[in-house]
Amino acid sequence: MEDYLQELEAWRASFFSSLHIAFQGIEFVKNLMRGKAAESTGAAAAAATVAPYVNEKDVSDLKEIKKMGEEFLRKVSGRF
């Protein structure tokens, strides 16, 4: 039983570490996009058209990631 508990704890620690890295990536992208928006605020007033900061691929990628997360949580919650 102790071996199982140790393996469970090791997996938990690894999983949280992976989530932490993913959250850091999310924060990086969010901050990068906010920075780009802030940089171009002045330029946007001078320009007639401004390219959107979020393109269709960004939106579809986010939807896919959210879907994967929901599916994963559903599978995991059914196991514990």
- Comparing CA positions, the residue from 71, 61, 80, 66 lying closest to residue 11 is 80
pLDDT tens digits, 30-71: 888 888 778 777 665 555 455 567 788 888 999 999 999 999
* C-alpha gyration radius of the chain: 20
Same structural domain for residues 20 and 59?
no
pLDDT tens digits, 6-36: 999 999 999 999 999 999 999 998 888 888 7
Q: Which residue has the tokens 């896919």?
A: 64
The DSSP secondary structure of 36-70, one letter per residue, reads: HHHHHHHHHHHSS----SS-HHHHHHHHHHHHHHH
Question: Which residue range forms the structural domain that includes residue 34?
Answer: 1-49
Same structural domain for residues 1 and 13?
yes
Number of domains in the chain: 2
Max CA pair span of the chain: 68
Same structural domain for residues 39 and 59?
no
Answer yes or no: pTM beyond 0.75: no
